[in-house]
Amino acid sequence: MYIDRALLLVFGLALVFFPTLEGWVFADAEHWYRPFLIWFGVVLAAFWNQYRRGTDEL
């Protein structure tokens, strides 16, 4: 099983900076879209990571 180095780095950074991100996301109810920005970034990064990799189909 191949784990991309960039993806592993992102998970490591997310683990380190999670308390700061949690405080930023839930700091104010007025900015309800902040969790959606984070998830949009995660989905976009996953798409970009898989788009770069070539297919193994014949």
* 8 A C-beta contact, residue 47 and residue 7: no
pLDDT, tens digit (0-9, with 9 covering 90-100), for 1-51: 577 787 788 888 888 888 887 777 777 777 788 778 888 988 888 888 777
- Which pLDDT score, from 0 to 100, does residue 56 have? 67
Of 15 and 56, more confident: 15
pTM: 0.51
Which stretches of 1-58 are DSSP H helices?
5-25, 34-52
Between the two ends of the chain, the Cα-to-Cα distance in Å is: 20
Segments making up each domain of the chain, as ranges: 5-54
> Residues 6 or more apart from 24 whose CB is under 8 A from it?
34
Contact (Cβ atoms closer than 8 angstroms) between residue 34 and residue 25: yes
Residue 23: predicted pLDDT: 79
Q: Is the pLDDT of residue 58 over 60?
A: no
Asked whether 25 and 38 are in contact (CB, 8 A), the reply is yes
